[in-house]
């Protein structure tokens, strides 16, 4: 099968996702080429004429022009789109799913809605890139008792305030906006290190490796800037779950409906609420051996089943069937 991969057209984390997809296509031995949405339509015509792809694969799909989509359809090329922000921009994604022959979504909540109107909608969580997220020996600057990587949604801010007030642990926060969202009393506290910026995945992996416990609370479905007027609940684990585990790091993950379809309670520890999180932080913080055993089990599963290489294989298998 020949595949044309069309980049998302976004920067930041999407540079990483696009590159991971391209690497996975090569590692799986597929014949493929790529196109960026900002390129002129003439480049697509040239690719279709000379390379003759059977499938177009893209992420998000909103930067791919209607003109390009129409051209692919006229030439009998199947289109597949991976919706990697679900369900947070569901208002937007729901409007474009009919442009594609296959829809893949990272969230089972969104999937239920897609399946009402699209006959080829499938659940496919993001994977990890094991060349980036892997065990590393790290310097002291990357070490912490507790680590949280991600945007400071209010639910995350509340969790951090709760843990700061109820423990004496050192805490590292990585993500743009954390300094302004924390209560002033904590902004310059010696226990709190803030990296108030978006950080590239490779550097993040160093922090994962240096943390005694990585906290993994998920994004809120009612965040002000979401485009999810249907209030679809996010039911699925996020891609950080796989990235953290691939590093061999120990995480406390917010309980999600589909978590146990990926990991047993011996392979990953979840928490139900702030009190439960606090209890488990205290329980596991100084039990290095137990954390290592649990983290190693999760790592083995992720490397064997949840990399981008495996995701591409699953996607192609579904398309070919």
- Which among 229, 300, 236, 262 is positioned nearest to 85, based on CA atoms? 236
Question: For the segment 25-73, what is each residue's pLDDT rounded down to a tens digit?
Answer: 999 999 999 999 999 999 999 999 999 999 999 999 999 999 999 999 9
- Which among 126, 75, 77, 125 is positioned nearest to 102, based on CA atoms? 77
Q: How confident is the model at residue 220 (pLDDT cuts 50, 70, 90)?
A: confident
What's the pLDDT at 20? 97
Mean pLDDT of 108-115: 95
Question: Could you identify the residue written with the tokens 């990399």?
Answer: 307
Q: What is the DSSP letter of 133?
A: S
Q: Which two tokens stand for residue 174?
A: 């990585």
Query: Does the pLDDT value for residue 253 go beyond 80?
Result: yes
Instruction: Give the domains, in start order, of the chain with CATH numbers.
Output: 2-127+307-320 (3.40.50.2000), 140-305 (3.40.50.2000)
Question: For the segment 118-133, what is each residue's pLDDT rounded down to a tens digit?
Answer: 999 999 999 999 999 9
Look over the chain and give the mean of its residue pLDDT values, rounded to a whole number. Answer: 95
What's the pLDDT at 232? 81
Percentage of the chain surpassing pLDDT 90?
A: 92
What's the pLDDT at 223? 55
> What phi and psi, each to the nearest 5 degrees, are found at residue 166?
-110, 5
What's the pLDDT at 54? 98
What's the rounded Cα separation, in Å, for the pair 23 and 309? 8
């Amino acid at each position: 099968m020949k595949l044309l991969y069309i980049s998302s057209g976004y920067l930041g984390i999407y540079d990483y996702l696009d590159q991971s997809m391209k690497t996975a296509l090569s590692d799986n031995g597929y014949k493929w080429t790529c196109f960026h949405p900002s390129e002129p339509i003439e480049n697509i015509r040239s690719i279709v004429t000379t390379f003759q792809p059977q499938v177009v694969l893209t992420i998000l799909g909103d930067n791919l022009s209607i003109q390009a989509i129409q051209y692919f359809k006229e030439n009998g090329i199947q289109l597949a789109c991976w919706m990697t922000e679900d369900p947070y921009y569901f208002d937007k994604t729901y409007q474009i799913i009919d442009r594609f022959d296959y829809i893949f979504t990272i969230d089972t909540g969104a999937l239920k809605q897609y399946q009402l109107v699209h006959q080829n909608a499938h659940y496919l969580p993001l994977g990890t890139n094991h060349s980036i997220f892997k065990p590393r020996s790290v310097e002291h600057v990357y070490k912490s008792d507790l680590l949280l990587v991600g945007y400071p949604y209010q639910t995350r801010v509340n969790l951090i305030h709760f843990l700061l007030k109820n423990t004496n642990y050192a805490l590292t926060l990585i993500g743009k906006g954390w300094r302004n969202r924390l209560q002033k009393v904590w902004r310059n506290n010696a226990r709190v290190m803030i990296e108030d910026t978006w950080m590239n995945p490779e550097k993040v992996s160093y922090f994962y490796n240096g943390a005694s416990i990585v906290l993994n609370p998920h994004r809120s479905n009612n965040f002000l800037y979401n485009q999810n007027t249907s209030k679809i609940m996010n039911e699925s684990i996020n891609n950080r779950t796989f990235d953290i585990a691939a590093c061999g790091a120990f995480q406390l993950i917010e309980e999600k409906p589909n978590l146990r379809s990926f990991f047993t309670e011996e392979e990953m520890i979840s928490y139900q609420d702030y009190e439960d999180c606090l209890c488990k932080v205290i329980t596991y913080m100084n039990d290095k051996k137990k954390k290592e055993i649990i983290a190693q089990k999760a790592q083995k599963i992720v490397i064997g089943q949840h990399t981008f290489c495996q995701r591409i294989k699953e996607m192609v298998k579904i398309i070919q069937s």
